Structure 1
Amino acid sequence: MTSETVISHSIFSDFDISLFKSGKHFKLYEKMGNTQLEIDGQAGTYFAVWAPNALELSVMGSFNQWNRQSHKLSARWDGSGIWEGFIPGVQVGAVYKYAIKMRKGGYIEKGDPYAEQWQIPPETASVVSEFDYKWSDKKWMSSRKEKNALDAPISVYEVHTGSWKRKGEDGNRSLSYRELAADLVPYVKEMGFTHVELMPVMEHPFFGSWGYQITGYFAPSSRYGSQEDFAFLVNEFHKNGIGVFLDWVPSHFPGDVHGLFHFDGTSLYEHSDYRLGYHPDWNSYIFNYGRNEVRAFLISNALYWLERYHIDGIRVDAVASMLYLDYSRKEGQWIPNKYGGRENLDAISLLREMNQAIYKEFPDVQCIAEESTSWPMVSKPVSVGGLGFGMKWMMGWMNDMLAFFKREPIYRRFHQNEITFSLVYAFSENFMLPLSHDEVVHGKGSILSRMPGDNWQKFANVRTLYSWMFFHPGAKLLFMGNEFAQKSEWMHDHSLSWNELNNESHKGISELVKSLNKLYKNEPALYELSFDYKGFEWIDYGDSKNSIIAFYRKGKDDNSLLVIGNFGVKAHDVYELGVDEEGKFKEVFNSDEKQFGGSGFVNGALLETVNFAKHSRDNTLSLRIPPMGFAVLKHQKTI
């Protein structure tokens, strides 16, 4: 083949180009990359790529013996920087890269930023593909508005697809998307989670990055199967009533030679100034959020996963690193904004525009921010000055709780504020409480390994922590392995330690999580007003001597639950608590039940109040409080 076999052709309208230049084209995946066409009776592939500083650009691949010269694309005349052309005979499955002649001399070979399929790493080329999948999740899609709503129960199971479970002759082969559909979907359903959150599935060259260093933003990783296989996995979750969130990483990308870095020989996707374009924490590169074409790339990518794969929401990684110009930088290593401040105005603008675009197109999804600072109004609408996210991870609660639970119970009386402080600001944002992968890696140990005391106390501490998470206002998230208190910290090269479920203590934690999820979904008081101060009311937070707290969780229609938490090791056979209601209470949950590995210190019979004022309430209830555990009671209304 010669360069004449590239037919001059475009699928861009003038309006497309205008939107692209202004950063307002949010469906670039319909135009860029590779597209199967038939022109003048010839089937082939149309290619389009943005490389404004290239002197020459050609497609090289399996169809032309990787010849840099034979299939040259044409630069558009309109200053858009887009190179394009139609190559007859190039079929689905062809492998390719772009050969780019740089202004500074020499060639650079790059994968396609918009490719929807890549070779299996460590191979680095893009693949010509055409998505073909017949969805059967209509029932879920028509009802997910209610399932993703802020007044619905949202309990998320965070998963790394490559290490959740492994098979193969050596027992160390990652499951495929279809194998995950067969094993993971029924497991998540059995455990009672409402959603899964998949750590980044986008193509990434280094497995040890866990997917957070992406080269193929528009492609599910080929390590686990095809595009259709990934769609099948999502479809199976939906058919079983489970929503799917994806981790999404607009904060940085790696410097791999075949990726976005110096794409046309210049700083194209990344900011050219090292102080703005390089991330010291992750040895990676920061998108140029002020460049229109880059903004269109990122927002198009977010929308792509929601449209193409019916994804129910995105969790945006490392938002704090985007918001602050001085994030992880010392004095002199960053540039103030035009007002002299540390806020990254371009990143703020991008996040707001992205959230507005997503909720306009998909009002029934969730956008969740992993934002670790006190930045105000992250989960408030853009119209009132917020960033426009639906929810934000409650990192303060997580840090306080892990610090508190490391303490020996005898000292906890002096740190009661670490339990209660989160309620001071619990309703300032729509919070999701995370016990995520970040808390069980890099030598931090597992959740279980941090707990003090003997073996029984360690597991009791875990039961108490998880109970507090479920009864605290906010959505919930548990990383895989946490649900059965895996002993070791997570290792991405190995399967979870499923054999631990043969141990009664670990099995008890699993049963606890099942019961917590069931109670959470069945009791509107635990979710209907999760982001409203009306949904929570303290009864007593001052019994630091016994490390006990008591409160009401409330729903919309006079639904309420009485919750008592004991963070100490002493059981209380008679504990008096002031309550509003008169009459009988029934215990509906106790984390010390024997099926959970507890001692069985429960309230077995109906409890009845006495007409005696306590805790500024008209009635008093006497109950048993388990050691290191939670009890939940429900008033039995008379008709």
Structure 2
Amino acid sequence: MQTQVSLSSIGHLINGTHENPSSVLGPHPVDYRGQSAIAVRSFLPEAQAAWIVDSANGSRRPMRRLHPGGFFEAIYSPSAGQPVDAAGLSREDKVKSSSSYRIQMSNQSGEMIEMPDPYAAPSILTDFDRYLIGEGRHHQLYERLGAQLRTIDGTKGVNFAVWAPNARSVQLVGDFNGWDGRSHAARGSDAGIWEMFVPGAKVGDRYKFRILDAHGQWTDKADPCGFAAELPPLTASVVADLKLHSWSDDEWMSNRRDWNPMHEAMNVYEVHLGSWQKAAGRTHGWMDYRSLAKRLADYCHRMNFTHVELMPINEHPFTGSWGYQAVGYFAPTSRHGSPEDFMFFVDHMHQNGIGVIVDWVPAHFPKDAHGLAKFDGTPLYEHADVRQGEHPDWGTLIPNYARNEVRNFFVANALFWLDKYHIDGLRVDAVASMLYLDYSREDGEWVPNEYGGRENLGAIDFLREFNVAVHEKFPGVVTAAEESTAWPGVSRPVHEGGLGFTYKWNMGWMNDSLRYFHNEPIHRQFHQNELTFSLIYAFTENFMLPLSHDEVVHGKGSLLSQMPGDMWQKFANLRLLYSYMWTHPGKNLLFMGGELAMWNEWNADDGPQWELLDFETHRGIQQCVSDLNQVVIENKALHDLDFSGDGFEWVDCMNGQDSVLVYLRKASDDSPPILVCCNFTPVVRQLYRVGVPKAGYWKEIFNSDSKAYGGSDVTNSPGLATIGVGQHDRPDSIEITMPPLGVSIFRLES
């Protein structure tokens, strides 16, 4: 019987330019001697000979070689007397036919290989999957696309699937085929998803998608949903098994569901894993995830941090981007080990009572050729118009959030980290750049929305969908927005018109506070409002107070070097800044090295100056931060009502001449109130009378000028009794000694 495949079609298949290989390869209905049958066709360039093996009885039928390049065909009836529908094979027919025969081949070495026909393998995608992807609502996209381990008819392999709707053809290239994709041309679908089951592919195999784009150009792309990647500068994706790790954090995960991020203590330690500590003998000194887990958990426990926030850990080609220019959105960076190693990291942190937050960057992605940029030859993930699709500050591309599949990709990616890696929170970078169409653009450089405004409606919808999905599917997980404008309701629920974040970074507080501290103490009397202004808006959002990596890079210097005065005053000012921050309403975040009082600006190649702990002054700052964390944890008044005006009360905010602030922190129950007294000058203020709401004994539970922290030890230890004299419109008072450039914290004991 003469084949029904044209010579031209076979030629395109052999050359790797066929736009729809699945229309030729695999099982296809044909008329054979007046009967309906199946023509099974395979492209096996390494085969010397090939056979069809009946799965029921093991009988073999030789396949005819129709082209010397390795194109084979055989006519096969999977069930004698039961003709195949000549109109074509349904999905169910293909499932039946794939299990009724196998392909056997002898390669050039004479080795016999038997496998299921990849082109007869049923799709891993159901019709409902395709519908959800098209609607942009497939929140478990990572269970379908990418490299999924799969066993078909007893043969183990990997199912590869990728969204590339404008591609003419897609091939799989990798270790499993010598990077020759002609024998693994993917099957396309109406949903724009290309799919291929590769028998024998395994964990650890490197691979890419070779895409014939809309312009007829071949490009090798990493897998957008790849679970692992090669160590940069290499760029291939790597097949991974995300079920290898046996989790031991059941207690943590159970408790997290009932954890209330509004009312619990939260002391966050921001960390860049690549430079927090170095390892001798490893590439660039990058320590592995398992070693980092043990050291970091111990350190956070000793320092009383409740959470770590990791600068982006997804795979990124340029180390100098610190992870903020991601390519492998579903892959933890291979700089520190495998996906299983990162699971160990999170698991170990949880077992030691430390939560894990990661920075997540859906705001932009780089133009690297192997990444998302023009993925199928067209602006697929990004906008086509550079006025919408290119970021002028960072030279990166902006996602097209209005496109269902793109929005789906990023929402599913967020849920992936919470699902597969048990992450406890996502801090979303550069939210302001997402919300405004004219962000960093001049007139004429941006495109208004459909109503003529500058709001990015697609991004707003995306952020709301992201937050709703996270909070519904993973109770207790937090989301935080780095958002620096006056956009209303960033941390308000979506059903109330907000964006739905748990927290918003308080960039205004950070900028005002650092600007105030840059002033010499003698001039601070003229800047009192820079400290008090934050309380005007403190409860309009659920604020997190950040002293992050952004405050100690790009020529700003370290926090210690930003403090004015001589050596003593610099250290005293830094302790004062931290004490004021930890007692201000809001959750706290400090970037690594801040607790060491580093002199140098942070450098990702060097990391924190751990050697400074040889000096008593630097050890004092470290102990001060540890004790402040503990004070916040132990005293409900300092964390219960961080986001409510009921938890804060000014006692004395008008004494700008002396640069003094005094305030009360309160809890929602009868927990003892906390009195905070701040002196922003180096002058000791004796017998400074402070009004208190209740008579009794006020114990000094913290003093930033303590000798233990390197201070001059001007304290009120162990505490003070009220004197029966009213002050600050309160019925009683205590007379304290205000330490120079210091903070005294008191708690009512009786």
Report the TM range for the smaller structure's normalisation: over 0.9
Q: In the aligned structure 1, how far is the partner of 2:502 from the partner of 2:160?
A: 36
Does the CA contact (< 8 Å) of 1:536 and 1:552 recur in 2?
yes
Quote the offset at 1:171 in angstroms: 10
Task: Please say if 1:365 is aligned against 2:492.
Answer: no
Does the CA contact (< 8 Å) of 1:57 and 1:72 recur in 2?
yes
Alignment of 1:602-621 (within 5 A): 602-621=715-734
Aligned to 2:705: 592
Quote the offset at 1:142 in angstroms: 1.1
Aligned to 2:194: 83
Aligned to 2:393: 281
Alignment of 1:51-450 (within 5 A): 51-76=164-189, 79-131=190-242, 132-147=244-259, 149-169=261-281, 173-450=285-562
- The aligned amino acid for 1:501 is L
How big is the alpha-carbon RMSD for the aligned residues of Structure 1 and Structure 2? 1.2
SS at match of 2:700: strand
Equivalent in 133, 149, 155 of residue 20 of structure 1: 133
Does the CA contact (< 8 Å) of 1:93 and 1:129 recur in 2?
yes
Moved more, 7-16 or 486-495: 7-16
Q: In the aligned structure 2, how far is the partner of 1:605 from the partner of 1:243?
A: 34
Does the CA contact (< 8 Å) of 2:187 and 2:196 recur in 1?
yes
Quote the offset at 1:147 in angstroms: 4.5
Q: Deviations over 1:527-563 (max 9, x none)?
A: 0111111000000101111100101000122231111
Q: Report the CA distance shift for 1:158/1:605 in structure 2 as closer, same or farther (over 3 A).
A: closer
- The aligned amino acid for 1:125 is A
Does the CA contact (< 8 Å) of 1:540 and 1:615 recur in 2?
yes
SS at match of 1:69: helix
SS at match of 2:374: coil
Q: Deviations over 1:229-270 (max 9, x none)?
A: 000010110000010001000000000000000000100011
Quote the offset at 1:495 in angstroms: 2.9
- The aligned amino acid for 1:288 is N
Q: In the aligned structure 2, how far is the partner of 1:350 from the partner of 1:184?
A: 34
Q: Deviations over 1:323-371 (max 9, x none)?
A: 0000001110001111111100000000001100111101211011111
Q: In the aligned structure 2, how far is the partner of 1:556 from the partner of 1:146?
A: 18
- Based on CA coordinates, which of the two structures has the bigger radius of gyration? 2
SS at match of 2:479: strand
Q: In the aligned structure 2, how far is the partner of 1:120 from the partner of 1:619?
A: 65
- The aligned amino acid for 1:467 is S
Quote the offset at 1:45 in angstroms: 1.0
Q: Deviations over 1:52-108 (max 9, x none)?
A: 0000110011121211322100101xx210001211111111111111111212211
Does the CA contact (< 8 Å) of 2:559 and 2:597 recur in 1?
yes
Quote the offset at 1:172 in angstroms: 5.4
Q: In the aligned structure 2, how far is the partner of 1:308 from the partner of 1:585?
A: 48
Q: In the aligned structure 2, how far is the partner of 1:211 from the partner of 1:70?
A: 36
Equivalent in 619, 628, 649 of residue 516 of structure 1: 628
Quote the offset at 1:574 in angstroms: 1.2
Aligned to 2:736: 623
SS at match of 1:537: strand
SS at match of 1:630: strand
- The aligned amino acid for 1:392 is K
* Runs of at least 5 residues in structure 1 that lack an aligned partner in the other structure: none
- The aligned amino acid for 1:269 is Y
Q: In the aligned structure 1, how far is the partner of 2:385 from the partner of 2:391?
A: 11
- The aligned amino acid for 1:242 is I
Aligned to 2:4: none
TM-score in terms of structure 1 length: 0.98
Q: In the aligned structure 1, how far is the partner of 2:556 from the partner of 2:170?
A: 48
Moved more, 553-562 or 531-540: 553-562
Quote the offset at 1:614 in angstroms: 1.6
Moved more, 535-544 or 603-612: 603-612
Q: Deviations over 1:6-65 (max 9, x none)?
A: 424311111111110011111100000011111122211111100000001100111212
Does the CA contact (< 8 Å) of 2:719 and 2:746 recur in 1?
no
Aligned to 2:159: 46
Does the CA contact (< 8 Å) of 2:637 and 2:666 recur in 1?
yes
Q: In the aligned structure 1, how far is the partner of 2:224 from the partner of 2:697?
A: 64
- The aligned amino acid for 2:359 is D
Aligned to 2:103: none
* Runs of at least 5 residues in structure 2 that lack an aligned partner in the other structure: 1-43, 46-70, 73-116
Q: Deviations over 1:153-189 (max 9, x none)?
A: 0110000000001121599511110110121110011
Moved more, 8-17 or 263-272: 8-17
SS at match of 2:176: coil
Q: Deviations over 1:300-344 (max 9, x none)?
A: 000000000000010000000000000001110001111111100
- The aligned amino acid for 2:639 is Y
- The aligned amino acid for 2:313 is V
Q: In the aligned structure 2, how far is the partner of 1:569 from the partner of 1:185?
A: 37
Q: In the aligned structure 1, how far is the partner of 2:143 from the partner of 2:689?
A: 65
Does the CA contact (< 8 Å) of 1:584 and 1:635 recur in 2?
yes
Q: Deviations over 1:389-439 (max 9, x none)?
A: 010000000000110111000000000000110000000000000000001
Q: In the aligned structure 2, how far is the partner of 1:561 from the partner of 1:171?
A: 49
Does the CA contact (< 8 Å) of 1:6 and 1:73 recur in 2?
no
Q: Report the CA distance shift for 1:67/1:310 in structure 2 as closer, same or farther (over 3 A).
A: same
How many residue pairs get matched?
635
Q: In the aligned structure 2, how far is the partner of 1:469 from the partner of 1:620?
A: 25
Moved more, 324-333 or 551-560: 551-560
Quote the offset at 1:606 in angstroms: 3.4
Does the CA contact (< 8 Å) of 1:146 and 1:152 recur in 2?
no
Alignment of 1:453-602 (within 5 A): 453-559=565-671, 560-602=673-715
Does the CA contact (< 8 Å) of 2:314 and 2:332 recur in 1?
yes
Q: In the aligned structure 2, how far is the partner of 1:495 from the partner of 1:384?
A: 43
SS at match of 1:63: helix
Task: Please say if 1:633 is aligned against 2:738.
Answer: no
Quote the offset at 1:583 in angstroms: 2.3
Quote the offset at 1:146 in angstroms: 4.8
Q: Indicate the structure whose relative CO is greater, using CA pairs within 8 Å and at least 6 residues apart.
A: 1
- The aligned amino acid for 1:289 is Y
